[in-house]
């Protein structure tokens, strides 16, 4: 179970027992700046299962892998959710994918599983020594009781072109008393496929975890692989990767601001903002050859360099887009009618945001200071990290304002890099085989927040476990809490203010 982490690595490993793991993790997280990055499991060389928690030090950009091997044949362990609420959904995901049971979990049920057992072609990550499917209890929604309480089921098929997910509202009249979110309709067995594909092809799978975050996922994958191989990308490659990452943030934040206005019936949003989002995607097209920035960021650098003609085209397009942003964003965020609808709506307190590990704009709108760009190496960061946008109100308006501030900072970062691109190759070749019993961890501040790709190899250098933690895995619980006490009619704008990934959760 012991990993070969090189001397000087940002990550260290500590081993404990399943019984002591919850307290070990909680003790570490009590230290200033530490947070739970991910919690999952993996199959060891001897066939036994091990729980593994990734604990991140946001002050130094380092971390600890806390490992606990389960005795042979044992599939139960004491849940840590009561001590570490941020582990809530992570324990459920690990439970169904590895056939584990977190004893004492306050809401133990499946996260992605819809059938009473996994069938083999749904790709569980561990199907037991006998190879038989793992039985699992039927899913049961929480029942809210009381006079006047009624349920409103919404989805999984929704109006418009959005991803499938089921929302079960319990309401008193029009007031939401509870929201239960059920996902899993897009489970693709992605983590298992990542452990089966040849290394050279894993980047194509990795960046497809959530296709609106192709640059973020590709970068997290590249960082993890390069870390394991001891490769440092050339400066020009780091700059171009950063531009791609910030274009992705820019395009999605602009789209979200327009959609927020549309969800409250203010047509300035759906009228003026989609063309601006299109202009941001045009920058992506010029940079990478693809509006979604697919196949661009690769381990070792980027797939293609940029010449002066395209760089000049991007600067011209960015300046034109910035003029529109300055003209149109105030039409939303300074409109009294918009402010009246957004202020106080879908509030998430700072305490609950911290307990459940909120990340990205949702976390920083509730007083959080964490921005992975200021801590963990990826692109030009942490050296070139901007001052994190931060508000304390925790409502829809605060989440919109974080996005508006980040649009400005992303434009500034892109412009500075285009004006002064480093002169160097855009890519270096990497080895085709990973080292044995090693771990690589890519932590990226994607547009939704902290995104983690965590790779562990076996004794032959083959990928034994490829775990992805999308920022939405943290934040779905925040949405369910934020809508309590709000009108059912305000759910669309609350939901959009988080704008979470369904497929990033389902994997």
Give the residue, 113 or 32, on which the prediction is more confident.
Answer: 32
If pLDDT is split at 50, 70 and 90, which confidence band does 118 have? low
Model pTM? 0.96
Instruction: Note whether 396 and 260 are within 8 A (CB).
Output: yes
Is the preceding omega at residue 278 within 30 degrees of 0, hence cis? no
| 19, 24, 27, 33 alpha-carbon torsion, rounded to 10° | -140
Mean of all residue pLDDT scores within the chain: 94
Instruction: Note whether 468 and 190 are within 8 A (CB).
Output: yes
Residue 7 has pLDDT above 70, yes or no: yes
| 147-184 confidence digits (pLDDT tens) | 999 999 998 988 777 899 999 999 999 999 999 999 99
Tell me how far apart the alpha carbons of residues 122 and 107 are, in angstroms, rounded to a whole number.
24
The kind and range of the H/E element at 77 are: strand 76-78
pLDDT score for 132:
60
Residue 134's Cα: distance from chain center in Å? Answer: 28
Would strands 76-78 and 101-103 be described as parallel, antiparallel, or unpaired? parallel
If pLDDT is split at 50, 70 and 90, which confidence band does 3 have? confident
């Amino acid at each position: 179970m012991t990993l070969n982490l090189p001397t000087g690595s940002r990550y260290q490993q500590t081993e404990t027992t399943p019984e002591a793991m919850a307290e070990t993790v909680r003790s570490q997280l009590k230290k200033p700046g530490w947070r739970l990055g991910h919690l999952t499991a993996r199959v060891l060389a001897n066939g036994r299962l091990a729980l593994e928690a990734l604990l991140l030090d946001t002050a130094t950009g380092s971390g600890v892998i806390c490992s606990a091997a389960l005795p042979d044949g044992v599939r139960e362990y004491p849940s840590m959710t009561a001590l570490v609420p941020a582990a809530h959904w992570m324990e459920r995901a690990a439970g169904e994918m590895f056939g584990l049971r977190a004893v004492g979990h306050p809401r133990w049920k499946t996260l992605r599983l819809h059938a009473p057992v996994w069938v083999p072609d749904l790709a569980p990550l561990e199907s037991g020594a006998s190879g038989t499917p793992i039985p699992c209890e039927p899913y049961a929604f929480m029942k809210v009781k009381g006079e006047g309480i009624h349920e409103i089921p919404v989805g999984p098929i929704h109006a418009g072109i959005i991803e499938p997910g089921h929302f079960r509202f319990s309401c008193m009249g029009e007031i939401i008393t509870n929201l239960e979110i059920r996902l899993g309709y897009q489970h693709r067995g992605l983590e298992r496929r990542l452990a089966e594909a040849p290394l050279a092809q894993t980047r194509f799978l990795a960046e497809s975890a959530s296709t609106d975050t192709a640059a973020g996922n590709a970068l997290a994958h590249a960082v993890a692989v390069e870390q394991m191989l001891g490769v440092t990308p050339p400066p020009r490659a780091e700059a171009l990767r950063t531009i791609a990452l910030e274009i992705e943030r820019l395009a999605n934040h602009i789209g979200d601001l327009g959609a927020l206005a549309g969800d409250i019936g203010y047509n300035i949003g759906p009228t003026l903002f989609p063309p601006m989002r299109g202009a941001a995607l045009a920058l992506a097209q010029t940079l990478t050859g693809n509006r979604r920035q697919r196949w661009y960021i690769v381990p070792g650098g980027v797939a293609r360099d940029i010449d002066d003609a395209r760089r000049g085209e991007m600067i011209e397009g960015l300046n034109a887009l910035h003029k529109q942003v300055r003209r149109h964003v105030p039409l939303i965020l300074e409109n009294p009618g918009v402010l009246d609808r957004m202020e106080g709506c879908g509030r998430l307190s700072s305490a609950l945001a911290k307990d459940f590990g909120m990340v990205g704009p949702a976390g920083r709108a509730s007083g959080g200071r964490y921005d992975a760009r200021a801590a963990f190496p990826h692109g030009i960061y942490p050296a070139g990290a901007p001052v994190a946008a931060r508000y304390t109100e925790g409502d829809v308006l605060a989440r919109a304002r974080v996005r508006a501030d980040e649009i400005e900072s992303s434009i500034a970062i892109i412009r500075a890099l285009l004006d002064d691109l480093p002169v160097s190759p855009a890519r270096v070749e990497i080895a085709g085989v990973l080292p044995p019993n090693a771990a690589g961890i890519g932590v990226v501040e994607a547009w939704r927040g902290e995104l983690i790709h965590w790779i562990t190899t076996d004794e032959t250098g083959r990928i034994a476990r490829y775990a992805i933690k999308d920022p939405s895995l943290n934040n779905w619980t925040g949405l369910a809490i934020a809508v309590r006490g709000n009108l059912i009619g305000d759910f669309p704008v609350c939901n959009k203010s988080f704008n979470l990934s369904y497929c990033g959760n389902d994997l």
